[in-house]
Amino acid sequence: MFALFRRIRKQLVSEGNLGKYLKYAIGEIILVVIGILIALQVNNWNENRKSRSFEQEMLAQIRENLEVDKMDLKKVHKNFEKAISSITKILEHEQEQYPDSLKFWLGDILQFERFAAITNSYETLKSNGLDKVSDDKLRRLLSNYYENEVEQVSRAIIDVEYAFLNDWKPLLKELSIEDFKFRQYVIVNDPHIFDRSSVARNNLILNKDNYSGGTTRISQVIQSIDEILNRLSAELEK
């Protein structure tokens, strides 16, 4: 094409037609500029398409990760609720003969939990720039969840265990665990420690409060996950 342009220019010059030459030269410049703009537009379109494709892929993976996080947190929440219920049952049996169910109630209380969010997809997105998430609100929600809420809820769950161990350490000898199977049962030699010892009863009350605080925090984070999931679904359906 450029060879053709050169031949036309030479012909116009040789004919001495300066006016036509100038008009042609201006037209040629305009065509070149238009070509450059079209090329840039196509390049920008390709880059935007790649960026959108990456965003969609990462958001889809993050949605899967959050579904697992939600499931794990609901499991912890359920176990904390069981612990609260079992503590309540023990406290209600003051000065009474404890039933065989006591060992299972204690098993519910002594099943400590952990929570580890799946963060690999978020970290990949973060390393490529969170600005790739086109929805500003979604970007803020993701950042808050992974940078703040994950650590807070993980700490709340671990704190329940630490508080329990610290509270009961002075009474371990008196409690005298005879048999123990994690997440199933705990058999103690003297179950009446719970109605004889005010310290043991107070510990149960404190443990119940800690479990309640943990369930509240977990519920709040599950609500945050639901909000993010709803926004992710809306973004992925665009």
b vs e for 175-193, b when ≥16 Cβ sit within 10 Å of the residue's Cβ?
beeeeeeeeebbbbeebeb
pLDDT recorded at residue 5: 47
The average confidence (pLDDT) of the chain is: 81
At 122, list the tokens.
């978020």
Ranges of each domain in the chain: 2-236
Share of the chain above pLDDT 70, in %: 72
pLDDT-derived band at 184, boundaries 50, 70, 90: confident
Q: Highest mean pLDDT: which of 71-80, 99-108, 129-138, 192-201?
A: 71-80
At 127, list the tokens.
């390393």
pLDDT-derived band at 126, boundaries 50, 70, 90: very high
With H, G, I as helix, E, B as strand and everything else as coil, classify residue 178. strand
- pTM, whole model, 2 decimals? 0.76
Q: Looking at the predicted structure, is the pLDDT value of residue 59 above 70?
A: yes
Q: Which residue has the higher pLDDT, 5 or 224?
A: 224
**Range 65-77 average pLDDT:** 97
Q: Looking at the predicted structure, is the pLDDT value of residue 12 above 50?
A: no
pLDDT recorded at residue 196: 65
pLDDT recorded at residue 216: 96
pLDDT recorded at residue 187: 75
The answer to whether 185 and 104 have CB atoms below 8 angstroms apart is yes
**Range 103-111 average pLDDT:** 83
Running DSSP on this structure, what letter comes out for residue 67?
A: H
Q: Looking at the predicted structure, is the pLDDT value of residue 157 above 70?
A: yes
Query: How many Å apart are CA 138 and CA 134, to the nearest integer?
Result: 8
**Range 97-123 average pLDDT:** 85
**Lowest mean pLDDT, pick from 125-139, 147-161, 182-196:** 182-196
> Quick one: which H or E segment has residue 19?
helix 18-92
- Measured in degrees and rounded to the nearest 5, phi and psi for residue 187 equal -110, 125
The answer to whether 125 and 132 have CB atoms below 8 angstroms apart is yes
The answer to whether 218 and 157 have CB atoms below 8 angstroms apart is yes
Q: Which residue has the higher pLDDT, 34 or 160?
A: 160
**Range 36-62 average pLDDT:** 74
pLDDT-derived band at 1, boundaries 50, 70, 90: very low
Contacts of 62 (CB under 8 A, 6+ apart): 121, 122, 125, 142, 232
pLDDT recorded at residue 22: 56
> Quick one: which H or E segment has residue 5?
helix 2-14
